[in-house]
Homo-oligomer: A and B are copies of this chain.
Amino acid sequence: MIQFEALFKISYGLYIVSSGNKSKGNGFVSNTFFQVTAEPPMFASCCNKDNFTANLIKETNAFSVSVIHKDTDPDIIGRFGYKSGKDTDKLSGLNIKYGETGVPIVLNDCIAFLECRVVQTIDLGTHYMFIGELIQAELVDDTKEALTYLHYRQVRKGVAPKNAPTYIDKSKLGENKKGSGLKKYECTACGYIYDETEENIKFIDLPDDWVCPVCGSEKSDFIEIL
């Protein structure tokens, strides 16, 4: 038996993985980045094949990883987590540094970054796993704590987007409803659920300038769900 709730006990960080170059760069929010060997220091990053950044990593054979902190601006998560770089220049207006391989490194809300050169690409069906040798690492701000996936889910009420390795279809989770007449509203951009049974204010009574606490989308981007 597979009880999908068990998977929430696995710990992850949250990162912006970027690739490309000065003329064409992109990045995405990832929770699957981790060290795989110590000598030499090598790291793995999983990336959905549909992801625009996956193609840039294949082209440039390199990627950067920005570790973001707990109070990261929701706009950063919304921009990199729930929008595609096919339609928009995600790096526009941000504080970007270019690495030794020429890949962009996002410095906004970043407490540390790493740059890796790809040495192996593993086909995992829906995803690629890029194995990269570390060529640069810098601690930017030691005073702030890294954002973890647990904090993102529990405190910021975020959910994994559909192409994340850790995406879980809600129908696979056990239900635990309170029959109350209160409603739920879902952010069409990021999937965040505003659940009136857990809030002090009805969705309709939220101010017009209220935005999604996860991705910064507007109130009008929400739909009522069953």
Contact = CB atoms under 8 A, between A and B. Distances in A.
A13 interface: yes
Contact of A124 (B7, B13, B37): B37
Query: Taking the full assembly, how many copies of this chain does it contain?
Result: 2
Given A11-B146, A44-B44, A124-B42, A139 B37 contact: no
A156 interface: no
A135 B44 CA distance: 23
A112 B44 contact: no
A167 B40 CA distance: 11
Contact of A32 (B35, B129, B149, B166): B35
Interface residues of A, number: 56
Interface of A: 1-7, 9-14, 32-42, 44, 46, 67, 111-114, 120, 122, 124-127, 129, 131, 134-140, 142, 146, 148-150, 164-168
25 contacts: A1-B136, A1-B138, A3-B137, A4-B137, A5-B112, A6-B114, A6-B138, A7-B114, A9-B13, A10-B67, A10-B146, A11-B11, A11-B149, A34-B34, A34-B165, A35-B165, A36-B124, A37-B46, A37-B126, A37-B127, A38-B165, A38-B168, A39-B126, A120-B122, A120-B124
